[in-house]
Chains A and B, each alone.
Chain A
Amino acid sequence: MTRFLLKGLIRDHHRSLFPVIIVTAGVMTSILGYCFMHGIIDDMVRSNAKLDTGHVKVMTRAYGDISRQLPNDLAILNVGDLIGDLEGDYPHMEWTARIKFGGLIDLPDEHGETRSQGPSFGIALDLLGPNSRERDRLGLKKALVRGHLPQAPGEILISEEFANRLGADMGDLATLVSSTAHGGMAVQNFTIVGSVRFGIAPMDRNAIIANLSDVQYALDMEDSAGEVLGFFPNLIYDDKIAKKTARDFNSKIHQPEDEFSPVMLTLREQGGLGEYLDTVNSRVAIILFGFFFVMSLVLWNAGLMSGIRRYGEMGVRLAIGESKGHVYRSLLGESILIGTVGSILGTAIGLGFSYYLQEVGLDISSMTKGSNMLMANIMRAKITPASYYIGFLPGLLATLVGSAISGIRIFKRQTAQLFKELEV
C-alpha cells in the first residue's frame, strides 16, 4: 500500500517535484542566510576581541568612561602585579597588557627633515615575550605584506596602506610624536620592519603596531598600561564564563568610589557590542521566521491547489473503501516525505553555497571604506553545527502545516460532496 502511494507521488510531479523544489529553495535560502549572518557576527566578535575588547578587559573606570580618547593618563599602574593576580585567580584565561595610543608618524629624510608624516593610531602589545601569544591572536603572520615581524626592541609594523601613503620602505626610520602619560611631549624613533593588512578598514587606514615595552618607555608608562585583556585560550568567546569572571573580579577588586581602581568588562559590555549583536541576532531570527512563514503560505497554497485537483482522487479512494483517516494520514505522510527530501536537498545545496562563501567570501570593501567598525572587508559565511539541522524546521514543518491545513478541508467535506465537485 505504501509503495503504491509512493509510486503515485513520484509520478505526479505536481505533488512531488514542485513542492520539493519549493522546499529545497526555501531551505537553501534559510541556511545560506543563517550561515552568512552567523559568519558576519562571528567575524565581528573575533575582530573586536582580538583588536580591541579582548574576551574581557580590565581598565580603570576613569579610563573606561572615555576610552575612545585613549586617555593613557588614566592607565592602570603596577600592571605587572595585576597580571600576576589575574593569572593566579583566573588561570582559565590568558592575560596580557596593551596600550592604545595616538600620535604623529614622521618619516625623516637623510638630513633629518620631514619627508612625510601622518596621524596614526597605535597598538602596543607584547610582541617579543617568549610566551606571548599576541602574534597569533592578531594573526600577524597572515597579515604581513612586506618585511618581517619585529624581532628586537624598537621595531614596528605599519599598515600597508599607511606605508604606501607615507612612501615608507621596510627598514626606514619612523619617529612617533605623541604625549606622555603625564602630559609631556614624547618623541621616539622606531624602525619599520614590516607592513600588514588586516582587511579591516579602520586598522588598515593608519595603524602602527609596536612592542609594549618600547611604548611604555616612550610614553613614560613604566609598569603601566591602558588595558589588560583576557582571552580564552581557544579564542572562542564564552559569555557565561566571561560574565562570571568579571563579576568575581569586580566584587573582589573593584572599589566603586575609587575611579582609578580597575574594573573588568566582558566583550558584550563594551561599546554597545552586546546590544548590537542582539539586534543582529534578532534580525536573523525575524528573517528566518519570515522565510518560514512565506514558505508555509506557498506550500499551504500548493497543498490547497493540489488538494482541489485531487478531490476526485480522494473521492474515489474513499468510495473504494479507504477510510478518511487513512487518506488524511497518507497526505501528511506525503508531506513529511516531501519536506524531508526538500530539507535534505536544500540543506546540502545551502551548505555548499555557504561553504563557498566561507572559503572565498564576498568583498564588501567598498562599503566599509569609511567605517570605524572592526569588521572584515570580506564577508564570510560560517557553517556551524546548527546549520546542519536548522533548515529542517522550516522545511519539514512548513510542508506539514501546509498540507495538514489544506487536508482538513478534504477531511471535513461530506464524502458525497467530493464527487459533486468532481462532476463540474
Chain B
Amino acid sequence: MNNGALITAENLVKQYPIGGRKFTALNDVNLTVQKGEFLGLVGPSGSGKTTLLNIIGALDYPTSGSAIVIGTDTKELSHRESARLRNEHLGFIFQTYNLLPVYTVFENVEFPLLLLGMDTEDRKKAVMGILDRVGLADRAASRPSQLSGGESQRVAVARAMVKKPKVVLADEPTANLDAENSHNVLQMMAKLNEEFQSTFIFATHDEKVIGYLRRKITLNDGRVAEDIETTPQYN
C-alpha cells in the first residue's frame, strides 16, 4: 500500500462555506508520511495547518480528495470507526493542554487505556511508566489546576503517548510555554519518537519546534509551498 506509507494525502481539498461563498482552506494537498517521521507543518497563520492536522486525525473530513491514515480512507469511516482509529492509533496534543480538570494526573493519562479496555494492572503499569518518562510520577495524584503550564503539557504528552500510538498529532504544543519548558517538552517528544518509533506531526510556527524537525512542510494559502528534509538543530 503506497510503498508502506503511514499517511497519504491525495489531492486534498477542504472548503468552508462562508456566507454563501466557499472559502478554500486546503487546496490540492499531496503528501506521504512514513513510519517514525518527526515532521512539522509550518506556515503563516491561516495557511491551513490545523485544518490539515484535523483531517489526518479523522476529526474533520476533506471536501474532495482523500486522506489515507494507517491503511484506511478516513472519508469511509463511520463515527464509531473513526473513534476507534483515534483510540487505537492516534494521540493528540493541543496548544491548551486540554486536561480534564476533575481528574487527577493519573486518571487523565489512564483515560485512553480505559477506552481501549485494558485491565487495571496493565493500566497502572503503563500510566506510571509514562509518567516516569515525562518526570511527573510524583505528581500522579495532583489535579491539573495544581500544575504549571510546562507540567500540564507534559501530562498531555504522557496522555497522548501512553498507548504508544502510531501517530502523534501536536497542534502548537509550545505556544503557551516559555523557552525552557518548550525545549523540555520537545526533547522529551524527540526521545519518545526515537524509542517508540511513533510518528510525530506538528502544526507550528514556533522556531524552537522547527529546530527539532527532521522534515518541514510549508503551507501557504492552503497549498504545499515547500516540503524539505531538515537537520535538527538541537539534540
A residues neighboring B (CB under 8 Å): 1, 4, 7-8, 11-12, 312-313, 315-326, 414-416, 419, 422-423
Q: Do A319 and B86 have beta carbons less than 8 Å apart?
A: yes
Q: Do A8 and B102 have beta carbons less than 8 Å apart?
A: yes
Q: Do B86 and A320 have beta carbons less than 8 Å apart?
A: yes
Chain B residues contacting A324 (CB-CB under 8 Å) are 79, 83
CB-nearest residue of chain A to B110: A4
Q: Do A323 and B112 have beta carbons less than 8 Å apart?
A: no
Chain B residues contacting A1 (CB-CB under 8 Å) are 114-115
Q: Do A8 and B98 have beta carbons less than 8 Å apart?
A: no
B178 contacts A by Cβ under 8 Å: no
| B130 → A minimal CB distance (Å) | 14
Q: Do A323 and B83 have beta carbons less than 8 Å apart?
A: yes
Chain A residues contacting B84 (CB-CB under 8 Å) are 321, 323
Q: Which 9 A-B residue pairs are closest in the complex by CB-CB distance?
A: A321-B87, A323-B83, A416-B60, A321-B86, A11-B102, A416-B54, A319-B92, A415-B59, A416-B59
| A412 → B minimal CB distance (Å) | 12
Q: Do A422 and B114 have beta carbons less than 8 Å apart?
A: no
Instruction: Report the separation of the CA atoms of residues A416 and B74 in the bound assembly, to the nearest whole angstrom.
Output: 14
Chain A residues contacting B85 (CB-CB under 8 Å) are 321
Chain B residues contacting A323 (CB-CB under 8 Å) are 79-80, 83-84
Contact size class for B? Answer: 20 to 34
Instruction: Report the separation of the CA atoms of residues A244 and B90 in the bound assembly, to the nearest whole angstrom.
Output: 74
CB-nearest residue of chain B to A320: B112
| A316 → B minimal CB distance (Å) | 5
| A409 → B minimal CB distance (Å) | 16
CB-nearest residue of chain B to A423: B96
Contact of B100 among A316, A415, A422 (CB under 8 A): A316
24 example contacts (A-B, Cβ-Cβ < 8 A) are as follows A4-B110, A4-B111, A4-B114, A7-B103, A8-B102, A11-B103, A12-B102, A316-B92, A316-B94, A318-B83, A318-B86, A319-B57, A319-B59, A319-B92, A320-B159, A321-B85, A321-B116, A322-B83, A323-B83, A323-B84, A325-B79, A415-B59, A416-B54, A416-B59
Chain B residues contacting A319 (CB-CB under 8 Å) are 57, 59, 86, 92
Q: Do B100 and A423 have beta carbons less than 8 Å apart?
A: no
Q: A8-B102, A12-B102, A422-B98 are in contact. Are A325 and B59 (CB under 8 A)?
A: no
Q: A1-B114, A315-B98, A419-B94 are in contact. Are A7 and B107 (CB under 8 A)?
A: yes
Q: Do A320 and B96 have beta carbons less than 8 Å apart?
A: no
Instruction: Report the separation of the CA atoms of residues A56 and B7 in the bound assembly, to the nearest whole angstrom.
Output: 86
CB-nearest residue of chain B to A420: B50
Chain B residues contacting A325 (CB-CB under 8 Å) are 79-80
Chain B residues contacting A11 (CB-CB under 8 Å) are 102-103
| A250 → B minimal CB distance (Å) | 68
Instruction: Report the separation of the CA atoms of residues A314 and B159 in the bound assembly, to the nearest whole angstrom.
Output: 16
Max chain B Cβ within 10 angstroms of own Cβ: one of A313, A315, A317, A416:
A416
B10 contacts A by Cβ under 8 Å: no
Instruction: Report the separation of the CA atoms of residues A416 and B52 in the bound assembly, to the nearest whole angstrom.
Output: 11
Instruction: Report the separation of the CA atoms of residues A313 and B87 in the bound assembly, to the nearest whole angstrom.
Output: 16
Instruction: Report the separation of the CA atoms of residues A422 and B110 in the bound assembly, to the nearest whole angstrom.
Output: 22
Instruction: Digitize B107-136: 1 where CB-to-A-CB distance is under 8 Å, 0 elsewhere.
Output: 100111011100000000000000000000
CB-nearest residue of chain A to B51: A416
B88 contacts A by Cβ under 8 Å: yes
B95 contacts A by Cβ under 8 Å: yes
Instruction: Report the separation of the CA atoms of residues A322 and B79 in the bound assembly, to the nearest whole angstrom.
Output: 10
Contact of B103 among A8, A322, A423 (CB under 8 A): A8
| B126 → A minimal CB distance (Å) | 15
Instruction: Report the separation of the CA atoms of residues A419 and B90 in the bound assembly, to the nearest whole angstrom.
Output: 17
Instruction: Report the separation of the CA atoms of residues A321 and B57 in the bound assembly, to the nearest whole angstrom.
Output: 10
Q: Do B96 and A322 have beta carbons less than 8 Å apart?
A: no
Q: Do A320 and B111 have beta carbons less than 8 Å apart?
A: yes
Chain A residues contacting B92 (CB-CB under 8 Å) are 316, 319-320
Instruction: Report the separation of the CA atoms of residues A8 and B100 in the bound assembly, to the nearest whole angstrom.
Output: 9
CB-nearest residue of chain A to B80: A323
Chain B residues contacting A316 (CB-CB under 8 Å) are 92, 94, 98, 100
Q: Do A312 and B98 have beta carbons less than 8 Å apart?
A: yes
| A424 → B minimal CB distance (Å) | 10
Instruction: Report the separation of the CA atoms of residues A8 and B102 in the bound assembly, to the nearest whole angstrom.
Output: 6
Instruction: Report the separation of the CA atoms of residues A7 and B107 in the bound assembly, to the nearest whole angstrom.
Output: 10
| A269 → B minimal CB distance (Å) | 62
Chain A residues contacting B90 (CB-CB under 8 Å) are 321
Instruction: Digitize B46-77: 1 where CB-to-A-CB distance is under 8 Å, 0 elsewhere.
Output: 00000000100101100000000000000000
Instruction: Report the separation of the CA atoms of residues A30 and B60 in the bound assembly, to the nearest whole angstrom.
Output: 46
